[in-house]
């Protein structure tokens, strides 16, 4: 895929910023011994609320959910930031944020216990970030700027 200079820069900046966000979300959970996905899951509404209750009420599943979240976010973040396997990273990251969206979508008539940090109607930051990751998956940049460049055959000029 051929990008103009500005397209390449803007896509790379987007990738790095989303990567940074994921990486810190993951690491901040890893270093906090009290963090648990339970609070988020307990407040779940709509389609996946039943699944959320099942996870929360089963210590093994909850532990697994915590583990997958902490390490998943960290690895996706590092992948995007460094540009290593970043298409897989973008896809996995998209699944993560889409799940966060689906566990607690800001739909009409759904009230959440935790205080929100913005005002949302159907669209929230999770959905936008999922969309951004979709863009990053569709327009990869890591084979041009990023460690993935080591893995691909250099284009013959």
Partner 1 sequence: MSDQTNQQKNTNVERRELIKSLATVPVFGLFLVNLWRKMRRDSLMKSNLLSDLVQEKSAPAIISSLSDSRHLNIGIIGYGGRGSHLIRGAGFATKGWTDTVSENARKNKLDKQFKTYMTQEDLNCTLVGVCDLFDVRAEQAIDASKNEVRSGGKPKATAKRYRHYTELLANDDIDAVIVATPDHWHSRITIDAAKAGKHVYCEKGLTRTFDEAIKVYDTVKKTGITFQLGHQNRQVEANEKAKQIIKQGLLGKINLVELATNRNSPWGAWVWGIHPEGNEKTIDWKTFQEPAPNKIPFGEEALRRFFRWRCWFDYGTGLSGDLLSHDFDALNQIMDIGIPKYASSSGGIYYYKDGRDVPDVWNATFEYPDKDLTVLYSATLSSNDPRGNRIMGHDATMQMGGQSGGGSVHGFIVTADSESTQYKERIQDGIINTKYPIYTYSPGSKQIDGVTSATSKYFANKGLLYTYREGKRVDPTHLHVKDWLDSIRSGGQPKCNIEVALHEAVACHMATESYFKGRRMEWDPVKQRII
Smallest gap from Cβ 63 to partner 1, in A, equals 10
Contact pick of 82, 94, 133, 136 for partner 1 (by CB under 8 A): 82
Between residues 98 and 145, which has the closer beta carbon with respect to partner 1? 145
Contact pick of 47, 107, 112, 114 for partner 1 (by CB under 8 A): 114
Provide the token pair at 155. 């284009």
Contact pick of 14, 42, 99, 131 for partner 1 (by CB under 8 A): 42
Residues lying near partner 1 in the complex (CB under 8 A): 12, 16, 20, 23-24, 27, 31, 34, 36, 38, 42, 53-54, 56-58, 62, 78, 81-83, 114-115, 144-147, 149-150, 154, 157
């Amino acid at each position: 895929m051929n990008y103009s200079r500005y397209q390449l820069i803007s896509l790379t900046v987007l990738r790095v910023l989303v990567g940074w966000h994921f990486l810190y979300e993951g690491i901040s959970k890893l270093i906090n011994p009290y963090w648990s996905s339970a609070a988020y899951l307990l407040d779940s509404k709509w389609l996946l609320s039943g699944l959320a209750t099942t996870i929360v009420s089963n210590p093994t599943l909850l532990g697994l959910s915590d583990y997958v979240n902490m390490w998943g976010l960290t690895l996706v973040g590092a992948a995007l930031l460094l540009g290593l396997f970043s298409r897989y990273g973008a896809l996995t990251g998209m699944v993560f944020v889409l799940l966060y969206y689906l566990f607690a979508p800001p739909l009409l008539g759904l009230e959440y216990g935790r205080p929100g940090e913005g005002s949302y109607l159907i669209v929230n930051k999770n959905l936008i970030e999922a969309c951004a990751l979709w863009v990053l998956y569709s327009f990869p940049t890591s084979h041009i700027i990023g460690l993935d460049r080591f893995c691909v055959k250099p284009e013959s000029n």
